[in-house]
Amino acid sequence: MSRIGNSPVAIPEGVTVEVKDALVTVKGKLGELTQDFSGVAVKVEEGKVLVERDSDSKEHKSKHGLYRALFANMVKGVSEGWTKELELVGVGYRASNQGQKLDLALGFSHNIVMDIAPEVKIETISEKGKNPIVKLTSHDKQLVGQVAAKIRGFRKPEPYKGKGIKFVGEQLRRKAGKSA
């Protein structure tokens, strides 16, 4: 029995949820998201979204909690939004942005210039004495995570000194160096 799938998703004020055929559309002040579904039935009642599975097959049980979580993420995204913050740890590592172009100096011979999707708002914070921070904000959780993972992939944190691009608040597993 899916415990997550059984709990309803509350719809806050200013958010509308429409179910048409096998497509859910969520509209809010920050944007609009759509998601197709199968193997479950979706109903909108009294300011709540209810997800019920069609049968007790293994496939339908697995989709039950999945779609409920996706719909909850969509509702939160169009009402509040999603944010990811990346921290650049290392001497000479810098980040700046002009509009939707992110310019990263990560110790390579050339800077990395990356075009960011228009749905994602980007902000770079550089304070003296602190590591530069890249802040990504959007209504689409999947898109923010994908862009953040792409940026992190340019220079993943290494386990000895911790240099690289890491998420703010991420705990790194550190290793001891050579023992002489």
Predicted confidence (pLDDT) per residue in 76-92, tens digit? 999 999 999 999 999 99
Indicate if 96 and 162 belong to the same structural domain: yes
Q: Which of 47, 137, 39, 156 is nearest to 93 (CA)?
A: 156
For the chain, how many structural domains are there in total? 2
Which pTM was predicted?
0.89
Give domain status of residue 173, yes or no.
no
Residue span of the structural domain in which 27 resides: 3-79
Residue 166 reports pLDDT greater than 60? yes
With cut-offs at 50, 70 and 90, classify the pLDDT of residue 1: low
At 2 the pLDDT is 62
**Domain end residue (candidates: 79, 94, 123):** 79
Q: Which of 74, 80, 65 is nearest to 140 (CA)?
A: 74
**Domain end residue (candidates: 18, 48, 79):** 79
**Domain end residue (candidates: 59, 79, 99):** 79
Indicate if 75 and 141 belong to the same structural domain: no
